[in-house]
Structure 1
Amino acid sequence: MAESMKSQQEGVDLYNQFIDGEWITGGGEPLDVHNPATGETVARVSLADEAMADRALKAAQAAFPAWSRKTAVERADHLYKLVELIQENRDRLARLITTEQGKPLVESDADVGMCCDLIRFAAENTRRLEGDIIPADDPDEQIWIQKVPHGVVVGITAWNFPAALVGRKLGPALAAGNTIVLKPSEETPLTALELVELARQAGIPKGVINLINGRGRDVGNHLVTSPITQLVSMTGSVRGGREINKAAAEHLKIVRLELGGKAPFIVMDDAELDPAVDAAIASRFNNCGQVCTCNERMYVQSGIFDKFLERFQQRVEALKVGNPLTDSDVDMGPKINRAELDKIHDMVQHAQSQGAELLTGGERLTGGEYDKGNYYAPTILTGVNNDMDIMKEEIFGPVAPVMKVESFEQAMEYANASEYGLSAYVFTQNVKRLMALTRELDFGEIYVNRGGGESVQGFHKGYRNSGLGGEDGKYGLEAYVKSKTMYVHHG
């Protein structure tokens, strides 16, 4: 057992597991956490085994009855206190996110802010999880439909938003009366651990929140397959989502999956040019393109194509890439790891072999500080067509393929020709086109004449390979309760 969240090991912080209100030392060789901007080891995390995963699940199961019986206001007050503590530690948490994930500090601050907003929204809506009383056929009977929590929730988070994704899982799960076991990504576990420590300080009862470190194929799979787990909420890759869905099927668990995206970015001739360029830059290169809702493929109408491309290229080539912890003017940081960096470069080279033309970028950044991290030049590819792999496969990096289209109808056809269906962007001032895309553009989240960034009161949902279910807002919160129908005869 450990007395605190972390200790020192060879001059580096060693983080532990959080189970039943206590910090627990894991077994086996700890996992190193690296700064992707420098390659240095910034911390280590002790890893859980299946026995520790069971302890976490059983702790959540034991805490569930008391937590679920608390009033909505009592649960909300705990969450409000957690938000208060996160805000007090906002600068420190933002710097930690940049250290373990690599995004610029302003984006890390927004990550923490989104975490607070998601938890706050859940707290605000604890009393809005309402049931119904339905007239019965018998005059001496009523039909009551109650909304009740599932029980133990497993929340598995990705590495690209270390704070916001914890808030997205933890907030609604606890607001609805569930308890939770969190498993953060092995790439960026530190922020989640610090958030759980703040939850402990906020007085959330022991066992309500548990966190274990480990690899998905090991403890992650065990969490998903355990009969204790009632609901799994996961953000990550399509491959990982399929594996979780398959593993959860044995016990017919409820699964919510937020997976990859291949967002089309459509610009029509009548679009306002500068706002479209601004949005194209932000929605492609924020977080080094490591956002599931990112602008992944661009369709620009022929009448505006040359003018748009000229301005877009100027802006892309002006982006400053570097270490966000040492240069506050950096626009884009590194990729998360070397494997991701190699994947991006291979995709760009493969696109060129299929006929794409490299307009700018297309290379790893080297020399000086660049040699220590995972940096890639902001890249534009032209001469692409919709059959190329670069227009079909998720890039998840700072590469923008730009394609000319002749009409709105053609743009719609190309946009929908995808295995993904999370987000899409459309820039047009034509009301008829706007109304048409509500029917014809087959994506769960559409941004019209603006850049990306969902609101906590909206509904973040993907179609096809982009996932199952959805998150955020009242519809996302309702996923964390189930219905119980009671036929009450009183005659």
Structure 2
Amino acid sequence: MDHRAMYIDGRWQDFPDLDRIEVENPADERVIATIPEADAVIARQALSAAKAAQQTWAARPAIERARAVRALAALVEQSAETLAVSLVAEQGKPISQARGEVAGAVTFLTHAAESARRIEGDIMPSDNPDEEIMIRRLPRGVVVGLTAWNYPLALAARKLGPALVAGNTFVLLSHEITPLAGLNLAALADQAGLPAGVFNVITGRGASAGRALVESPLSDLVTMTGSTRAGREIFRSAADRLKVLSLELGGKAPFIVMEDADLDHAVDAAVAARFANCGQVCTCNERMYLHRDIADEFMRRFVARTRALRIGDPMGDPDLGPKVSRVEIDKIENLVEAAIAKGAEPILRGGRLTGGEYAKGHWIAPTVLEVADNTNPIMQSELFGPVVPFLRVDGFEDAVAKANDSEYGLSAYLFTRDIGRMMRVS
């Protein structure tokens, strides 16, 4: 079992007096690591280190900062298999998808580094004689990164790279369910030679350490990917200081299939977009709107494909690995039961898997539901798991109206051969 420390001001610090959080492998429920549970004092220490390093870091030319980010990207790429195996162990996604996440982290860091030469300003004429107005783009200062557990490495990289290239320093709260990805990234950043304090990683819970990072006067911008509930809490915590926020929250992506769609292509996409990472993606296919003329045939193919999905040990690269935790399975089962109570009809009833190879771990098989009413809770609440409801629609306008009847707005899918519809829906 790994006994992990936190990375603050260029040093690994253990803080033996802190409580520790166990990190579980969702495939077999083994405790694979423990991490320290940071409190407000530790959060302030990390922010202070970032604040002390920021001006010196910002004084470096952007292209020099970009070289450091490129060096980190190169080390992530060199360590790809080790990082992927660690992602499987703490998060449960199939190994090929974990390798894809590592490749995504490399792309995010590299893309950020490429933007170094594009940090531009403007010189504008003034209303007054003998005067010009100069606008310069300057770093915010200290950036706090709060990431979700579903893509812990890629999300950290996507936030870290742009912040560093722009001249900010960074404090990452590595999510308590999947903290190893952020700590592994810190180890590579240390190896890449990032100056002390430029990148700091602490571990702990959002309600304590996360709140302290958001509310502190030392943090200047908060970038967060996570639930809508957590986003609202961050918004409230940041309000008193009018802090700059960048929040990517929940999604309930509609998947619209019109009567003229290529059904093979649409079914392939529907399966991939629903069941990747066991449905734990904020841009997943969360609700399907199918034109009446093709609904039966589409569902015949979709259900057949869904029945054939392999569920098992993520290191064996199945179609679906485990859910990340027992709590997450409970949430899904409660939503399914609520949907059926409101009239949803199970077309394929999966649910929790137990016994045999599933005796340990958090396993769940896909469920497909037909609903007759867009107000059904399963059409309105984010699922974040291998469950998909569908509703028959009368045409394009009906589909778009129902897709827009949602509190969410993040991504959407449309399958049609009509370019006019594509332009209108976007």
TM-score > 0.5, shorter chain as reference = yes
Match of 1:162 in 2: 152
Match of 2:337 in 1: 349
The size of the alignment, in residue pairs, is 425
Instruction: Determine helix, strand or coil for the equivalent of 1:279.
Output: helix
Match of 1:187 in 2: 177
Match of 2:91 in 1: 101
Please list, as runs of the form range in 1=range in 2, the aligned pairs for 1:78-477 lying within 5 A after superposition: 78-325=68-315, 327-328=316-317, 330-438=318-426
User: C-alpha distance in 2, partners of 1:213/1:432?
Assistant: 49
User: C-alpha distance in 1, partners of 2:287/2:40?
Assistant: 41
User: C-alpha distance in 1, partners of 2:217/2:239?
Assistant: 11
The TM-score, its normalising length taken from structure 1, stands at 0.86
User: C-alpha distance in 2, partners of 1:84/1:436?
Assistant: 42
Match of 1:464 in 2: none
Instruction: Determine helix, strand or coil for the equivalent of 1:87.
Output: helix
User: C-alpha distance in 2, partners of 1:144/1:395?
Assistant: 48
* Pair 1:66 & 2:39 matched: no
Deviations 1:366-420 (A, max 9, x none): 1112120111111111134201000000000000101111100000000000000
Of residues 24, 36, 59 in structure 1, which corresponds to 2:26? 36
Partners of 1:348 and 1:362 within 8 A in 2: no
User: C-alpha distance in 1, partners of 2:76/2:419?
Assistant: 42
Instruction: Determine helix, strand or coil for the equivalent of 1:333.
Output: coil
Q: How far has the Cα of 1:350 moved from its partner? A: 1.5
User: C-alpha distance in 1, partners of 2:225/2:126?
Assistant: 41
Percent of aligned positions that are identical: 51
Deviations 1:140-160 (A, max 9, x none): 211100000000000000100
Q: How far has the Cα of 1:47 moved from its partner? A: 1.9
Match of 2:9 in 1: 20
User: C-alpha distance in 2, partners of 1:215/1:436?
Assistant: 43
User: C-alpha distance in 2, partners of 1:41/1:140?
Assistant: 69
Letter of the 2:373 counterpart? N
Instruction: Determine helix, strand or coil for the equivalent of 2:161.
Output: helix
Deviations 1:450-487 (A, max 9, x none): xxxxxxxxxxxxxxxxxxxxxxxxxxxxxxxxxxxxxx
Match of 1:486 in 2: none
Instruction: Determine helix, strand or coil for the equivalent of 1:387.
Output: coil
- Extract structure 1 runs of 4+ deviating beyond 4 A: none
User: C-alpha distance in 2, partners of 1:44/1:361?
Assistant: 36
The TM-score, its normalising length taken from structure 2, stands at 0.98
User: C-alpha distance in 2, partners of 1:364/1:237?
Assistant: 23
Match of 1:457 in 2: none
Deviations 1:239-291 (A, max 9, x none): 11000010011111001110000000000010011110010001000001010
Match of 1:455 in 2: none
Provide the alpha-carbon RMSD of the alignment.
0.9
User: C-alpha distance in 2, partners of 1:317/1:143?
Assistant: 64
Instruction: Determine helix, strand or coil for the equivalent of 1:229.
Output: coil
User: C-alpha distance in 1, partners of 2:251/2:378?
Assistant: 13
User: C-alpha distance in 2, partners of 1:349/1:292?
Assistant: 22
Partners of 1:36 and 1:335 within 8 A in 2: yes
User: C-alpha distance in 2, partners of 1:140/1:372?
Assistant: 76
Deviations 1:189-235 (A, max 9, x none): 00110011100100010000011111111111000000011000011
Instruction: Determine helix, strand or coil for the equivalent of 1:147.
Output: coil
User: C-alpha distance in 2, partners of 1:362/1:189?
Assistant: 30
